[in-house]
A and B are shown apart, each in its own frame.
Chain A
């Protein structure tokens, strides 16, 4: 059992859990503890230290979008993103509810709304309290400075006036043709001006101090405002919810339209001539409307988790496309030196091209194939697939996937070619002795022996694809993580700044998971004990 677990951990690339399992089974506790210290505790400590430094440094740097968010703010932002997503899901479910379940949900939401309204009042009075406390604090802190300033100003004024008086006197007393006395006057005037400037400067310094106090950070107020914001958001959500459970609910709408239809039908029974024509048209229109509404669903906005899923789907499409191109071509390259020679210039030329160049080309080409995305059979057919369809795949998505493919196919291609070309001569000899035909030689000897290298290439490709994807989405504004970042950047509030930090961690985490998954595959296909790098 123990060895099975250890083996599974090994294959899954989770070797750092190995000492814990061994410790549980009581194997050499000292060794295991030191391993745990090295491979688990130290990384965790390093991460905590990183958070600490970040939290300390971040507030020191102010930007146009507000302060650089601290870890706490980023965590709040992540929480906010998640709450938004959950609420949108609830709304979309509410829209479709009908009957008893709708009614119970409605009362529930209304109760909650009542209590949240109270809570909002409390929160806003808290804010007002904090505000007045802050004002008092500011006033008390400012008072000595203000006093100092007033005194300084009065003092400076008298000094300045007396200097001005003496200057006028000096001007009066200048004798008619003494240039040196005129010079002296000018010098005195210069002195006066520089003294005045100095005095102004000193006054400004004190005013700056006063301003600084006025803009001081007051944590209770920040907290109170944040609490109020949360409550207000929830209130708004609950109001919307109530709406979707009552008059904006699908079944309610359908019922309403059907009632109308009933009226029209009643009119129809007793109408003729022009009247009949009009009512008939109305009835048909109403029937159409009912049909449309009864299979409509809530127009869910693009929440971050949905964008993540769409990004994953995009990278997956691109990756599959890249593999479908790269592996066959790589195999051909490895098998035939002529083909390899023919492909080399293309590989050398296209490999370094940046995604930012491929994307517009892909957009144009895809746009050429799909001039009207709303009425194209391909788009329609993929959007009518069960789960995939709800992600609204459009030409921008396809272009992004193609860009991902174009940028990520090279490592797989090169590795596959290398793997196939460097097949062991002994294995070829076995194939010759057995007189394997071309296809069985390919599938039983060549590909299996190249598989570890192919998977190493695929792993790099997936990593590249994931990095490229974000840029591609950002540029093509195809809904996804890249689009989210772009929207946040254009928002420019300090909240969206924190959300961008959330994106950093999410992208990193997903990239890591993808890489780990590929490592598992790589290990499963590798036949020798050669360890795969972490």
Chain B
């Protein structure tokens, strides 16, 4: 039995008269301690999929299960990191993380609490900004706070919605390693959205593409069998990596084309005319 499971899930928004079906017939099963990356085009319904997984939304049809139990409500064991960070603007970096940690680790002493929070702030290199309010931070810093908050809760399942999209390459690499380390050491299960195929290949066990919306569904997955630990430096010349990258990219491009062809062709054919003669300069 799969650890985390979506079965025949469909969801749509809006009233019956103007309804958009976002996801249709989604089937996904994630094994315990598996790292799954979801890729898909913007607006296809990735974030919607994540909110289903974290229990924030209920599917119209089908079931979402964790260890065979239907997920009925969100909770800290399903550590959701929101795409728009969702930081509380009246709390500092420290305060935001502290609120989550306090709620999850109720038995912590004051000292333990502080140590725990500081450790995660340190992890995302925000120690100098601990007392800043979110509006005083850059976009990337906010994203790091949000990530730190999710990681600090130490959830069984990490549901990460584009956790590193706003970061520069260097910071991004550090945090990728950090997520992988946590996943490996603490035996977590991770479902992560990313728009970066390299990142997916570097981190995930499996890449699941989401087809173009509306009525998006999951396409056949790409298992990533590259040996761990994966080294960023040598990965680029690894033939298996290259092949996988090509496959995934081609699949996505093909899907994009397909979607375009499905639409009514709006391109007006231009008459094929050529200048007949030029004036000599």
Contact = CB atoms under 8 A, between A and B. Distances in A.
Interface of A: 426-427, 429-430, 432-436, 440, 444-445, 448-449, 451, 525, 527-529
A434 B82 contact: no
B88 A432 contact: no
B278 interface: no
Nearest to A449: B90
B74 A444 contact: no
A429 B86 CA distance: 8
Interface of B: 54, 56, 73-76, 78-80, 82, 84, 86, 88-91, 99-100, 103-104, 133, 135
B90 A448 contact: yes
A370 B91 CA distance: 47
The B interface is mostly helix, strand or loop, or mixed, namely loop
A420 to B, nearest CB: 14
B84 A433 contact: no
B166 to A, nearest CB: 16
Given A427-B86, A527-B135, A433 B80 contact: yes
Contacts of A449: 88-90
B75 A435 contact: yes
Given A432-B74, A527-B135, A426 B99 contact: no
Contacts of A436: 103
B88 A448 contact: yes
Contacts of A444: 99
A434 B86 contact: no
Contact of B135 (A433, A434, A525, A529): A529
A435 B155 CA distance: 13
A426 B82 contact: yes
B89 A527 contact: yes
28 contacts: A426-B84, A426-B86, A429-B56, A429-B74, A429-B82, A430-B86, A430-B88, A432-B56, A432-B74, A433-B76, A433-B79, A434-B76, A434-B99, A434-B100, A434-B103, A435-B73, A435-B74, A435-B75, A435-B76, A435-B103, A440-B103, A444-B99, A445-B88, A449-B88, A449-B89, A451-B90, A527-B89, A527-B90
Nearest to B159: A433
B88 A427 contact: yes
Contacts of A440: 103
Nearest to B84: A426
A444 B100 CA distance: 11
B153 to A, nearest CB: 8
A48 B79 CA distance: 65
Contact of B54 (A426, A433, A528, A529): A433
Given A429-B56, A432-B56, A448-B90, 17 more contacts: A426-B82, A429-B74, A429-B82, A430-B86, A430-B88, A433-B56, A433-B74, A433-B75, A434-B76, A434-B100, A434-B103, A435-B76, A440-B103, A444-B99, A451-B90, A525-B90, A528-B89
Contacts of A529: 135
Contacts of A432: 56, 73-74
